[in-house]
């Protein structure tokens, strides 16, 4: 009896391959202060691992939004969207949610993201908000499934 041969279709599928996030393939650089620089984002400290789940929005009246936007302007980073919320890793839901300020920006300014996130975090600490993480995310990353 001959072994079963896998079927072969000489024509390629018309369906385009689905692109998915693969954390194992992303470039990841950690620093001693808890900030990270990855292919699609930068920030810290203690950013939530990808993929993540959005838990809830955070409302703060005394949030230094002007300072955050002034810092991004100083670093020549165009902010596309701004989110203030809690996130936790999708595959480790036992972790506590991380309060995060998430900014989406064009990739052209990526080399400035890490420095800007550090400066924004120092501003947050000066306002008593040292429990927040700050993240700048590539604008092309689809976050609609995470929020």
Burial of 71 (0-12, 13-18, 19+ CB in 10 A): buried
46 has pLDDT over 90: no
d(CA 32, CA 26) in angstroms, rounded, equals 19
Among residues 123, 119, 88, 86, which one has the least CA distance to residue 102? 86
pTM: 0.73
Query: CA 96, 97, 98: angle at the middle one, nearest 5?
Result: 115
Residue tagged 């999708």 (tokens): 90
Tens digits of per-residue pLDDT, 76-99? 999 999 888 888 888 877 778 889
125 has pLDDT over 50: yes
């Amino acid at each position: 009896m001959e072994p079963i041969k896998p079927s072969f279709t000489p024509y390629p599928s018309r369906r385009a391959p689905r692109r998915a996030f693969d954390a194992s393939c992303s470039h990841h650089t950690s620093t001693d202060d808890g900030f990270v620089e990855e292919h699609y984002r930068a920030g810290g400290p203690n950013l939530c691992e990808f993929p993540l789940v959005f838990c809830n929005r955070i409302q703060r009246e005394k949030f230094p939004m002007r300072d955050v936007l002034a810092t991004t302007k100083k670093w020549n980073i165009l902010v596309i969207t701004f989110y203030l919320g809690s996130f936790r890793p999708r595959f480790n839901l036992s972790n506590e949610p991380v309060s995060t300020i998430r900014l989406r920006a064009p990739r052209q300014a990526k080399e400035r993201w890490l420095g800007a996130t550090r400066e924004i975090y120092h501003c947050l600490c000066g306002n008593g908000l040292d429990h927040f993480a700050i993240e700048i995310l590539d604008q092309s990353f689809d976050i609609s499934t995470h929020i």
